[in-house]
Structure 1
Amino acid sequence: METLEILLVILLCIGAIQGIIFGIILWQKHGVHYLANRFLATILFFFSYRLIVETLNIFGLGRYDFWYHILLEYNWIYGTLIYFFIKSYVNPKFKFLRKDWIHFLPVLIEFTWSFFIKAQNFYWDGTRESLSWLGYWGYVVWMHYPTMFIVSGALIVFYSIKAEKILSNTIQVEGYKILEEKLDWIKRVVLVMKIFSIIYVVGILIDFFFFNFASNFFYGHPVFIGMAIITYWLGLEGFARRKESAFKQIAIISDKEKEQLQNIRKTLETKMKEEQLFKNPELTLASLSKQLSVKPYLVTKCLNTIYQKKFTDYINELRFKEVKRLLDNPKNDNLTLLALAYDAGFNSKASFNRTVKKITGKPPSALKTKS
């Protein structure tokens, strides 16, 4: 065995083993993403299976022998699994319905057709006449044309596009708030798989039309190296985030409560605009509630439900906007940034620095930088 093949075998085996181990861990993981974890685990299992089959092929197993008839193709399942992984990940109340099985029809067709084609070897005696018309041409199309590979890549691209639409148009589920930043890693994975599949299909078509489908190294080994890397990456990402949730549970409130909280919001915004209560450095939740003639827990509920903010964050953001307004006034050019911060209601330099850093991601000094 050449050095290149030894390295390839090592890489494929590492990817397969890692996929199986992480797949088992994810399959057993419970929680709000338990169904999504199982779809992800299934993806890893099928990726690992494909890497194992390719490893056996390198050792000469699975080429018109016992293993050839046992190791059937499942290349058309990846796109569907990716789609349902995303669909279940962004919806904590997702349920797999009977109608959803239609998406697995391609893999059933591939499995059935693969079994039928490989069974032709039992009838083949070296002549075309030993096979039926369907058996002969089916074998030719399946084994001598890049049919299964092109369909596989096309399905991944198709379902990746559907998955990207779901990720860009997430539906808010009652009782849950989706955390968009928790979806970034999935968006990267879907994008990479889509690009990888497009390159994969283009490479195979080039090989078929210009090299008579003879350059196995061109479309074969690099593809499986890519699969091994994606399997390793996908497994690590899923494993690292197995305890994370893309959702935050929020209280479900009645229409009567919504109306009450909206009234508090209107009063709150009026007070902040007309009386600028945020400029009081000693302002507390209790004193604000007293000004609004509302119980403190209702003010907190209003801020959490309508603004999705804590009391401190809400007030400090108003103070930050006031600092920005004061900075735009030429009359304040001679004042220090800290003086303006105190004028806006901040009660300490540390509080001001934290707020600016949290909102802008930059130090306070950047506020005075003129563009």
Structure 2
Amino acid sequence: MNFQVNLYAFVLLFAFLQGLFYVYQFCKRGFSEERASDFWLAGLILALCITNIPSMLGFMGIYILGQDWWFFPQDTGLIIGPLVYFYLKTQTNAQFKFNAVDYWHFLPYVVYFFYHLLVFLSGKEGVDWWAQRIHNPFQLGNLHSVTEIVSLLVYTILSLRLYRRYRRWLPTERSDTEAMLLNWYKNFLALIVLGVVSAQVLYVLGFFVSIAYWDDWILRAIVAFNICYISFNGYLQPQPHRLIFDTNIPMESNFGSANLETAIKKTEKPDPVELEIWCKKVEVVVQTEKLYLNPELTLSDLSAKLNSNNSWVSYVINTGFQKNFNDFVNAFRVADFQEKVIDPKLSHYTLLALAYECGFNSKSTFNRAVKKATGELPSALVTKK
């Protein structure tokens, strides 16, 4: 054994150690803050670290996992997809509960793990006999590789669909969307796709040319980059306790009001007079109680104030004001800002300070909302005083 730490090994080792550090940090925060998403992300990072161990040791000159222990269950590819998917579910829904049906997502990995573990425990002679008589003749290794690639592609698609649905839902429920957009997650999914495509290319090339051990480093480097990327960005993500994106509830539900004697069905058009009355109710309660000053105001908060339900209030805002909830609330904040920015008593305030006074909680959201409502940047409004 010629132990060494060259540049190839160092890159994988660095990502591995950083991954283990963040696994500990995520678990620690998960317990202290009761964040289920932290445990899923810790599991994902750990799975990525484990799948890189054979290559990392190999580039160090340690080949035991690739030789004597080659049948040891060291590949976590079948569990990465479900972990990516369930992290998103728990990150976007603080009340998500893992139920019995969800265990089926992990069945392929469980089958792989115990199959390899049982054969491995039979000893080297048992492994050699099984490989020669069963594993290799029936192409079980190739079947596993194909299943792994399909699994990653399927769960990447499922995650992307869920992510897009979440992004469409967020402005209809929250007035503070900036910190909850999960922009980094889309980039992470793109890296997963890159890794899957790279694995496919190497797999297909293996049928025509001999793939050197060093050629596999590119794929492992992508995994290492993923470990560093999701560790850092995932740890920075906030998770408001009231963020509840329930995928079991359809995006479009029947419209109804708790104050109405009969529910208005989705296929029916509400009375224009009634709609106008409700528009006035919504506008008055937001304005008089200054609900927009709450930077974390949600559609549920507004519905509770009106003794109504989310679907009806959302319909009133979308139809009556031709806006989603986020734009509707931000319009009140922008109007308040326009009044405050010309108030001589507040001339010592910075624009950002005024924005916070009006209910905004980020500079980018503030700039975007003002631009959308007035067609100008906040600084342009100051010059018009």
The bucket for the TM-score relative to the shorter chain is 0.5 to 0.7
Whether the 8 Å CA contact 2:26–2:38 is kept in 1: the answer is yes
- Report the Cα offset of residue 151 of structure 1: 2.4
Native 8 Å contact 1:154 1:201 kept in 2? no
Instruction: Give the Å deviation of 1:180.
Output: 4.8
Query: C-alpha separation between the residues in 1 aligned to 2:74 and 2:81?
Result: 18
Q: Distance in 1 between matches of 2:100 and 2:20?
A: 28
Change (3 A) 1:4 1:184: farther
**What is the DSSP-based 3-state SS (H/G/I as helix, E as strand, rest coil) of the residue aligned with 2:66?**
coil
What's the counterpart of residue 208 of structure 1?
206
Deviation sequence 1:58-98 (CA, Å, 0-9, x none): 32222333x44555433211111111111111112111111
The answer to whether the aligner puts 1:197 opposite 2:196 as a matched pair is yes
CA contact (8 A) 1:177 1:247 kept: no
The structure carrying a bigger helix percent of its residues is 1
Match of 1:139 in 2: 136
219, 226, 234: which one aligns with 1:223: 219
Q: Hey, what does 2:370 align to over in structure 1?
A: 359
What does residue 25 of structure 2 align with?
25
Letter in 2 for 1:61: I
Deviations along 1:30-64, one digit per CA (max 9) or x if unpaired, are 47771111010011112112222322333222233
Unaligned 5+ segments in structure 2 are 245-256, 264-273, 303-312, 318-324, 356-365
User: How do 1:105-116 and structure 2 match up within 5 A?
Assistant: 105-115=107-117
Distance in structure 1 (CA, Å) of the matches to 2:327 and 2:165: 27
CA spacing shift, 1:89–1:112, aligned 2, 3 Å: same
Root-mean-square deviation over aligned CA pairs? 4.7
Tell me which of 224, 230, 236 is aligned to 1:234. Answer: 230
- Alpha-carbon distance in structure 2 between the residues aligned to 1:299 and 1:44: 39
Q: Which residue of 1 aligns with 2:280?
A: 266
1:162 aligned to which of 126, 133, 158: 158
Gaps of 5+ in 1: 126-130, 272-284, 290-295, 321-340
State the match for 1:39 in structure 2. 40
Q: Corresponding residue for 2:8?
A: 8
Decide whether aligned partners of structure 1 residues 178 and 56 sit closer, same or farther in structure 2, where only a CA change above 3 A counts: farther
Moved more, 114-123 or 194-203: 114-123
Counterparts of 1:312 and 1:113 in 2: how far apart (Å)? 56
Checking the alignment, whether the CA contact within 8 Å between 1:90 and 1:178 is kept in structure 2 is no
Task: Give me the whole-angstrom Cα distance separating, in 1, the residues matched to 2:142 and 2:133.
Answer: 16
1:347 maps onto 2:342 in alignment: yes
Q: What is the CA–CA distance in structure 1 between the aligned matches of 2:165 and 2:98, rounded to whole Å?
A: 20
- The alignment status of 1:255 with 2:258, answered yes or no, reads yes
What residue number does 1:62 align with?
Answer: 65
Structure number with larger C-alpha Rg: 1
- How many residues align? The count is 305
1:276-315 matched pairs, under 5 angstroms = 289=288, 296=289, 305=302, 314-315=331-332
Q: 3-state DSSP class of the match of 2:65? A: coil
Partner of 1:77: 79
- After superposition, the Cα gap between the structure-2 partners of 1:302 and 1:189, relative to the gap in structure 1 and judged at 3 Å, is closer
Whichever residue aligns with residue 157 of structure 2, its letter is I
Q: Distance in 1 between matches of 2:136 and 2:161?
A: 37
Q: 1:45 to 1:319 in 2, by over 3 A?
A: closer
The answer as to whether partners of 2:370 and 2:377 remain within 8 angstroms in 1 is no
| 1: CA distance, partners of 2:335 / 2:104 | 52
CA distance in 1, matches of 2:219, 2:113: 21
Q: Give the alignment's TM-score, normalised by structure 1.
A: 0.65
Quick one: structure 1 residues 249 and 215, their matched pair in 2 at CA, closer, same or farther if it must change by over 3 Å?
closer
1:195 CA displacement: 2.7
For residue 279 of structure 1, what is the aligned residue in structure 2? none
Q: Which residue of 2 aligns with 1:185?
A: 184
Q: Are residues 239 and 261 of structure 1, via their aligned partners in 2, closer, same or farther at CA, if it must alter by over 3 Å?
A: farther
Cα distance in 2 between the residues matched to 1:6 and 1:360: 52
Whole-angstrom distance in 2 between the partners of 1:313 and 1:46: 42
Percent sequence identity over aligned pairs: 17
Is the Cα contact below 8 Å between 1:180 and 1:246 reproduced in 2? no
Change beyond 3 A, Cα 1:363–1:163: same
| DSSP-derived class of the 2:75 partner | coil
More moved, 46-55 vs 75-84: 46-55
Deviations 1:237-263 (A, max 9, x none): 12223xx1256569xxx9349x99984
With normalisation by structure 2, the TM-score equals: 0.63
Alignment CA distance shift 1:106-1:124 (3 Å):
closer
